[in-house]
Structure formats: structure tokens, C-alpha cells
Amino acid sequence: MAVGIFDSGLGGLTVLDAVASRLPDVDFAYFADSAHAPYGVRDADDVYELTTAAVARLFDHGCDLVILACNTASAAALRRMQESWVPEGKRVLGVFVPLIEALTERQWGDNSPPREVAVKHVALFATPATVSSRAFQRELAFRAIGVDVEAQSCGGVVDAIEEGDTILAEALVRSHVDALKRKMPHPEAAILGCTHYPLMQETFQAALGPDVAVYSQANLVAESLADYLVRHPGMTGGGGPAFYTTGHPGRVSDRATQFLRRRVQFQPA
């Protein structure tokens, strides 16, 4: 069976590209809920219902393990899913924990008490739903103390990226960084808390300045998944790569091809 990769739209393709490169012998099934994107402006119950419906589709397609390559879904739905919804024999993982472990320099699976870390001032750029959930701060508190997190809700960036409007996306990023700096003038690190944002990483870095360490998720998730699969080898098997969408397959395929710079063919979910 394949490993499922889920996102509300196409941002999760940044994660798919990284994990497929890191794990070339693993097959992946990607599900884009394009008909309901973006999730970042929806309330938590709505995100939960949409996420569980999409993950159930991936289970139906033979995926025993699904990565929520969507920070909004990871923030608003993952814990609730893991506590009361995920069927026996299935696993659903998010994208926050690998990022936080990299930021706090903790090894995967380190469950020791929270401790002080080198970075004290962290900027978080994320969708409105992720910011309002405070999921990043909650997960960080399990691993670190004394870290000041200033969150900036980045409205409009995902829409601009999905529409292929790079000029608007870059302008919005610069505006949101300016707004963040008015609240936290000197961040030491910045978290790109949306899988779309790595496509704008150079713009974020330029606006923040060279002294700010910018963390995005794709490669970190790939390393964590590789470690997870070593410990759970039965979670993968044979099967071919596949792409599914709730949107218009032709339009989504064209946009995904622009994202990955290789032809991608989506089929109806």
C-alpha cells in the first residue's frame, strides 16, 4: 500500500516532493481537497469534517498511513482524529512535531521534560486557522520553556499561490513580515507554518533578513517519515503513485505541473 499525503490544496506537494526524493522505494498517494480550499479561513469543526472525509478516502485507496501535509488540518483536526476517529491499524501523522523538534534540537521520540533552548524569540507565519488554534505553541510547550512566539496570520498568501499569482504572493509576504516585525522587531527564527510557504521561502528570508533562521517543513517531515518507517516497516507496500482531487482534475493537474515542474495527472477523488 502507498503512504497517503493530504492537503487542502497543492501546498502539500512540497512535502510530497521531499518525501518521494528521500524515500524513492515508497509509493505515495496524494489527495488535494481543492474543491474546499483553502482551509485556513474555516472554523475547527469544518476543518475536522473535511479532513476526516479526505483521509477516509485515502484509507479506501489502501493507505494505512496518512501524513496531514496541511498545517491547518494538523492544528485543528489531528489531535481530535487521533483520540476518537482513526481506525485500528491506521495511522495519521501531522507536520508540526518534526518542525518543533528541529527548532528545539530534540531527537525524534525524545519524551523528556521541556527544557530551555537556544532560540528565545520565534516568529510563526501561518494561516488564520492555524494561528487561532495555538497548536504550534501547545506542541512547543511540551518540548521547550522560555520561548516567546509571535504569530502572524498570513491571509491571502495561500490563495495567491494557488492561483499562480507570484507577484501578489510576494507582496503579501512582505506585508505580513512587516506586520510581524512591528510586534517582534528582532526574531531569531521564523517558522513557515504552511506547506505552501516554502514556495515563498526566498521572499520570507529577504524580508526577515539574513540573521533570521527560516524553518520550513518538507525536508524535516521527510526525515521524520523515514525514521518512522524504519520503526514501522509494515506501513508500506506495493502499489503505484496516484494523485486525487475533489476539484477539476484538469485545472488541478495544470497547476500541480507548475508546482513540481513535471507533468502530474490528477484523477477525481
Q: Give the integer Cα–Cα distance in Å for 195 and 259.
A: 12
Q: What is the pLDDT of residue 119?
A: 92
Q: Give the integer Cα–Cα distance in Å for 258 and 150.
A: 33
Percent of the chain with pLDDT over 90: 61
Q: Give the integer Cα–Cα distance in Å for 145 and 141.
A: 6
Selected residue with higher pLDDT from 236 and 230: 230
Beta bridge partners of residue 150, listed in sequence order: 123
Q: What is the pLDDT of residue 239?
A: 52
| Mean pLDDT (whole number) for 79-88 | 95
H-helix segments, 142-214 = 157-162, 166-183, 201-208
Q: Give the integer Cα–Cα distance in Å for 21 and 88.
A: 29
Q: Give the integer Cα–Cα distance in Å for 132 and 134.
A: 6
Q: Is-catalytic flag, 194?
A: yes
This prediction's pTM: 0.85
> Sign of the C-alpha dihedral, residues 171, 176, 179, 183?
negative
Q: Give the integer Cα–Cα distance in Å for 104 and 107.
A: 9
Q: What is the mean pLDDT of the chain?
A: 91
Q: What is the pLDDT of residue 240?
A: 55
Q: Is 244 helix (H, G, I), strand (E, B) or coil?
A: strand
Q: Is 63 helix (H, G, I), strand (E, B) or coil?
A: coil
Per-residue pLDDT reduced to its tens digit, 113-166? 888 988 999 999 999 888 998 988 988 988 899 999 999 999 999 889 888 899
Selected catalytic residue, list 3, 70, 99, 199: 70
pLDDT at 92 over 90: yes
Per-residue pLDDT reduced to its tens digit, 171-203? 999 999 999 999 999 999 999 999 889 889 999
Phi and psi, residue 82, nearest 5°: -65, -35
Q: Is the peptide bond before 38 cis (omega within 30 degrees of 0)?
A: yes
Selected catalytic residue, list 15, 194, 256, 269: 194
Q: Give the integer Cα–Cα distance in Å for 197 and 204.
A: 9
Domains of the chain: 3-94+218-268 (3.40.50.1860), 97-215 (3.40.50.1860)
Q: Is-catalytic flag, 63?
A: no
Winning range, highest mean pLDDT, from 105-114, 216-225, 228-237, 246-255 = 246-255
Going by their DSSP bridges, the two strands 189-192 and 213-215 should be labelled as parallel
